[in-house]
Amino acid sequence: MDTIGILIEVYETKNYPEPQVLPNQMLLFLMGEHGLEAKELPEIGSEEIIKEILAGDRELDNRQIKNLSLRFHVSPTVFLYD
């Protein structure tokens, strides 16, 4: 069973790679899905800070990533970019 699982994972990784999305684009997407505006995310900071993050002028820090993953019920890795 373990071997089959590994083979499936290798196949999916090779043939269906996950697209890389910038953290600010992911945040914009999630905000749109939930009908939120920048001022409705106090857990990441002021509206000005949020706008800088959304514009790509500022990166999310670890605290913000943790808070966003809890807010949107997603893995923190969706806000990381390699």
CATH number, position 62: 1.10.260.40
Q: Would 45 be classed as within a structural domain? A: yes
Backbone angles phi, psi at 32, to 5 degrees: -65, -45
Residue 13: the pLDDT is: 83
What are the Cα distances from residue 34, in Å, to 12, 17, 20?
29, 26, 21
pTM reported for the whole predicted model: 0.74
Residues spanned by the domain of 67: 20-79
Mean pLDDT by 10 residues, the chain (82 residues): 90 81 94 94 91 94 95 93 75
Residue 60 lies in a domain: yes
Domain for residue 11, yes or no?
Answer: no
Quote the number of domains for the chain. 1
